[in-house]
Structure 1
Amino acid sequence: MNFAVPPQAAEHHSNLLLAALPPQDLAQLLPLLDTVKVEVGEVLCEAGDPIHHIYFPHDCLVSLLGVAEGRMTLEVGQVGREGMLGATVALGHDSTQVRAIVQRAGHASRLPSAAFRAEVARNPSLQRVLYRYTDQLLAQAIQIAVCSRFHVLEARLARSLMVTRDRLQSDRFHLTHEFLAHALGVRRVGVTKAASALQQQGLINYSRGNIEILDPEGLAAAACTCYEIVREAGALPVQSFM
């Protein structure tokens, strides 16, 4: 039996997890979803806080930061249109383990965590999508942790910039020294030196937080091997979720 998806589903289809759901399951989820705008620097959740809402990004990008002693941070993943924020609710967690901060402004579908938990409990298709995506996030976090311990900062910065480029589908974006320092778990002076090295090689142009990737292939070559691993872990095609 064919199940027609309401016209309002179109705006939510820009998120690949929602688009991966069978039409009848998406149609039942639609009344629970609101479209919200998020701004650069907005903290969607703080480590240790209760999870109030689930977000499915459309065109925004969210950085996931592990936090130590309330001030030291390290980016352990990114969430764009391929994913969601709050997947651990499906595993029974009521609080978040990361600080989620908006890296690029845009829009997202949002619903209350209680409503999401109820949908997961009754919807096997949604369960399969979420469990696969949670496995992706874990694979990314593990690889980034290994990268942070064993690879030099210049290669790590190249990896981070290339992953961001892939998520945004753009060679131009804005990332401040301060944000990159928080993401890479280093001091700002370290970011300055690494960015200058990449710029001197003609790979990027970086001025006042405005980044332009001049040579994507060269920057990918300058990145550590973790770039390919993280990219493959975070950009599976929609069909693989089914």
Structure 2
Amino acid sequence: MPSSLLLTERNRLLCALPQHERQRLLLSGETVAMHVGEVLFEAYQPIRHLYFPLSGFISHSYHSSDRRSIELGLTGYEGMLGATVILGVDTAPANAVVKADGEALRIDIRHMQQLALTCPTLLSIIKRYLYVLLAQLMCNATCGHYHGVEHRLARWLLTVQDCVQSEHLQLTHSDLAGMLGVRRSAISIAAGLLKTRHLVQYKRGHITIINRQALERETCKCYSILKSEYARQLEHIENSE
């Protein structure tokens, strides 16, 4: 396989495409670096490019009128940023900011709209990924209302680990407070409990997951539900090729 196609093996959605569709995406896009703090989308502003992360991860958040924010979801190598353009909408529904350095395949929105018309598997994958995003939003709303901070923290740590594929996470308590929409003091208490149970270790700006299996037992069911649903949708695509 050409080295350029091997690049797409680093994103699960691209990997699910037949080779000729992957080749067309590569010819239409470019590999770019993503840096922590880089703003890729601003809510209700025009989308110019779509991103398929190859490493690192992106945070989706919404800011209220009183400047408070809450995390809506994360996108890493398992997904893409900008899937809503296939609905004919060229504005971003939320802010998207890089939270861990990495790389992405970036494609101009006009090229993607053209590709979606002539690449049936690509279109099917994006539609199913949109379904996964919708399920994630609905699950997050329920989780944030009914589940405790400790269980939600365990879930987000596992989700971030899935995105970066490493047990070493560069996250501050302030980052986690923003993700969960709670006070920093609540994160300190919840993280302290996880540390006491020897599930994580942390020092300023760094968290290390030292017992993933035990951490999975501490999280709410939302984590396994969403992970299973993503796998089911991806399996459907792979089996239909």
Scaled by the length of structure 1, what TM-score is found?
Answer: 0.92
Residues 1:195 and 2:191 aligned together: yes
Structure 1 contact 163–231 (Cα < 8 Å) conserved: no
1:157-197 alpha-carbon deviations (Å, 9 max, x no partner): 01111121222222111111121111111121221121112
Give the deviation of 1:38 after TM superposition.
Answer: 0.4
Looking at structure 1, the residues matched to 138 and 60 of structure 2 have their Cα atoms a distance apart, in angstroms, of 13
Counterpart of 2:69 in structure 1: which amino acid? T
Q: CA deviation at 1:73?
A: 2.0
Could you tell me which residue of structure 1 aligns to residue 172 of structure 2?
A: 176
Which residue is 2:39 aligned to?
Answer: 43
- Please point out which of 217, 225, 228 is paired with 2:224: 228
**Superposed displacement of residue 6, structure 1:** 5.0
Question: Residues 33 and 157 (structure 1 numbering): CA distance in 2 closer, same or farther, change over 3 Å?
Answer: same
The answer to whether the Cα contact below 8 Å between 1:137 and 1:234 also exists between their aligned partners in 2 is no
Of 182, 185, 190, the residue aligned with 1:186 is 182
Structure 2 CA distance for aligned equivalents of residues 153 and 205 of structure 1: 18
Q: Distance in 1 between matches of 2:201 and 2:230?
A: 26
Matches of 2:163 and 2:230, distance apart in 1: 9
Assess if the C-alpha contact under 8 Å between 1:37 and 1:107 holds in 2: yes
Counterpart position of 1:100? 96
TM-score computed with the length of structure 2 as normaliser: 0.92
| Secondary structure at the counterpart of residue 14 of structure 1 | coil
- For residues 6 and 172 of structure 1, do their structure 2 counterparts lie closer, same or farther at Cα, with a shift above 3 Å needed? closer
Identity percentage of aligned residues:
38
* Structure 1 residue aligned with 2:79: 83
Aligned twin of 1:206: 202
Unaligned runs of 5+ in 1: none
The CA distance in 2 between the partners of 1:152 and 1:226, in whole Å, is: 12
AA paired with 1:233? Answer: E
Query: Alpha carbons of 1:211 and 1:235: their partners in 2 closer, same or farther (altered >3 Å)?
Result: farther
Answer whether contact 1:6 1:27 (CA < 8 A) is retained.
Answer: no
State whether residues 140 and 233 of structure 1, in contact with CA within 8 Å, keep that contact through their aligned partners in structure 2.
no
Letter in 2 for 1:44: L
Describe the shift of the 1:83–1:236 C-alpha distance in structure 2 as closer, same or farther (beyond 3 A). farther
Aligned partner of 2:213 in structure 1 is 217
Where 1:157 maps in the other structure, the secondary structure is: helix
Distance 1:164 1:235 in 2: 17
Provide the C-alpha distance between the structure 1 equivalents of 2:232 and 2:74, rounded to a whole number of angstroms: 14
Q: CA deviation at 1:198?
A: 1.3
Alignment-derived partner of residue 16 in structure 1: 12
Measure how far apart 1:240 and its partner are: 2.9
Number of aligned positions between the proteins: 238
In structure 2, the gaps of 5 or more residues are none
Q: CA deviation at 1:142?
A: 0.9
Select 1:53's aligned residue among 40, 49, 59.
49
Report the Cα offset of residue 155 of structure 1: 0.8
Q: Give me the whole-angstrom Cα distance separating, in 1, the residues matched to 2:39 and 2:143.
A: 25
